[in-house]
Structure 1
Amino acid sequence: MNGVTCSDQTPSFEKTWGSSTSSGYCSEEDSDSDFEQYFTARTSFFRKPKKEDEVIDSKKQELSLSEIQQKVKEYNAQIHSNLFMCLNKDGTYTGFIKVHLKLVRPVSVPPLRKGAASQESANGKRSGVIKRRTSFYLPKDTAKHLHISSQTRAKEVIQALLKKFTVIDNPAKFALFERTERHEQVYLRKLSDDECPLYLRLSAGPNEKVLSLVLKENETGDVNWDAFSMPELQNFLRILKREEEEHVKQIVQRYALARDRFQEALAGSNPG
């Protein structure tokens, strides 16, 4: 994937998994269904875009070879670690980008495997793979360093991140964003699939306050339902129905309590 590699500068997947179990994760291990169920008290599939979600246009000019050489030199002079950029003879360059994962919904990982004793079923077919997904929420402030080249595209960065965390969701569900701050306002610009994140990093310099890269769900207010499988859509309906029932229950209880108080007030004002 164009030489995309992951740096060990950030926690491993095992650490991420361990810390995620307290983030609302729930998996139906005994279910006969082939899809996962995850629960949250406040699920919002129809989030309204915040101000920081505003997409802005940003057309950047291509750099000449001499400009790239100068930019790489200036960039490396500001680095206080080993995450330098390296210029190749053909004018391409390699370096590190840091991607912050700001995901609202849970992600899915491959099904678990049983022991060797249960790997063969009665009909002779393998049964070691449980036909279910396990879903969990990535912890807040999860980030990953990737070593990429100037020719690595945004969609390849997304694929590399999902592979690193063994996420099996459709890459089309996610998008890479450029986060910038101007005049005390935060803006997000969605990168096109063929845009090169390392070029953006080099142009902006290493300061993440000037520019940072964020992985988010691929939406701008409207949900791309075509990116979800039928089991996932059915699961969303179950969650929405459960939340609707809970909301109705709360309303009924509130009005029942108000009715009881009115009746008590009436009884107190008419002692005879």
Structure 2
Amino acid sequence: MTWGSTESSTFSSQDESKSELELYFTACTSFFHKVRRSTDEQIDLSKQELSVGEIQQKVQEYNAQVNSSLYMVINKDGSYTGFIKVHFQLVRPISLPPPQSLEEDQQGALMKRRTSFYLPKDTAKHLHISSQTRVREVIEALLNKFTLVDNPAKFSLFERTDRQNQVYMRKLSDDECPLYLRLCAGPSEKVLSLVLKENETGEVNWDAFSFPELCNFLRILQREEEEHVRQIVKRYALAREMMKKAMSRITTPG
């Protein structure tokens, strides 16, 4: 697998500036998207079966719609290669491996300290894969690219589609081939996009983080809380002002 030269993601550790930290979500933050899941209305592209001739035709049609160099290429064995774009929607901290140097704690024991950070909500990457690359391999490749130590089983790849102002999300199984889905849907991300999300639904194990990391998370949480309070106060102040203006225009009955 190779990586396309696309937009890069900005990492943030506990050592970065406060202004950058304000761009990130805390682990307790949720994305309040209106998502509907309807198995009756979703189109499962993974169940379509295409012949070799149909695949060749679809590849030609796909490349005709691509406005960049991210084309698909058919190989002699009938397989094909191309690019998929994966969007990251992670709301929990992820971890880099610890540094090579060892540090001593207060008891004199040797320990390694990892670096945890949040990915920005608009992080996305292009990945060059083949038609035989499966979902689990894609997830592992993404983690390896970022040199993350998190267990790949913590993440899942989702298919996101927009139809009639509704968002549909479908969790892909490990044996599905994302490039095949991309080929069947075409290059438009409005038709189909791929999203990496956490697979877990339980609480965050805060005991797994170091004291400086926890302090860092608390600062981020406090900033988000203060910003949320400011937005609420502003909204109510605006509504109050509009009511007063409306009252001033009402003439008192004589």
- Tell me whether the two structures share a fold, i.e. TM-score over 0.5: yes
Amino acid at match of 1:180: T
Is the 1:174–1:218 Cα contact (8 Å) retained in structure 2?
Answer: yes
Which residue of 1 is the match for residue 207 of structure 2? 234
Which residue of 2 is the match for residue 43 of structure 1? 28
User: For residues 137 and 77 of structure 2, what CA distance do their matches in structure 1 show?
Assistant: 22
Which residue of 1 is the match for residue 156 of structure 2? 175
Which residue of 2 is the match for residue 98 of structure 1? 85
Distance 1:140 1:50, change over 3 A: closer
> 5+ unaligned residues in a row in structure 2: which ranges?
105-109, 222-254
Distance 1:48 1:134, change over 3 A: closer
Which residue of 2 is the match for residue 250 of structure 1? none
Choose the corresponding residue for 2:11, options 13, 16, 25: 16
Distance 1:55 1:94, change over 3 A: farther
Is the 1:23–1:139 Cα contact (8 Å) retained in structure 2?
Answer: no
User: For residues 23 and 160 of structure 2, what CA distance do their matches in structure 1 show?
Assistant: 28
Rg (Cα) greater in structure: 1
User: For residues 81 and 25 of structure 1, what CA distance do their matches in structure 2 show?
Assistant: 30
Which residue of 1 is the match for residue 74 of structure 2? 87
Q: Which runs of 4+ in 1 moved over 6 A?
A: none
Amino acid at match of 1:173: K
Give 1:48 shift.
Answer: 9.2
Which residue of 2 is the match for residue 7 of structure 1? 4
Name the Cα RMSD after superposition. 3.4
Secondary structure of 2:156's match? Answer: strand
User: For residues 85 and 202 of structure 1, what CA distance do their matches in structure 2 show?
Assistant: 9
User: For residues 130 and 36 of structure 2, what CA distance do their matches in structure 1 show?
Assistant: 27
Amino acid at match of 1:105: R
User: For residues 25 and 173 of structure 1, what CA distance do their matches in structure 2 show?
Assistant: 24
Matched, 1:146 2:127: yes
- Aligned-residue sequence identity (percent) comes to 59
User: For residues 155 and 170 of structure 1, what CA distance do their matches in structure 2 show?
Assistant: 12
Which residue of 1 is the match for residue 234 of structure 2? none
User: For residues 182 and 151 of structure 2, what CA distance do their matches in structure 1 show?
Assistant: 26
Amino acid at match of 1:43: C
Is the 1:55–1:190 Cα contact (8 Å) retained in structure 2?
Answer: no
User: For residues 38 and 133 of structure 2, what CA distance do their matches in structure 1 show?
Assistant: 22
Give 1:183 shift.
Answer: 1.3
User: For residues 31 and 119 of structure 2, what CA distance do their matches in structure 1 show?
Assistant: 21
Secondary structure of 2:187's match? Answer: coil
Which residue of 1 is the match for residue 94 of structure 2? 107
Give 1:168 shift.
Answer: 0.7
Secondary structure of 2:196's match? Answer: strand
- How many residues align? The count is 202
Give 1:51 shift.
Answer: 3.5
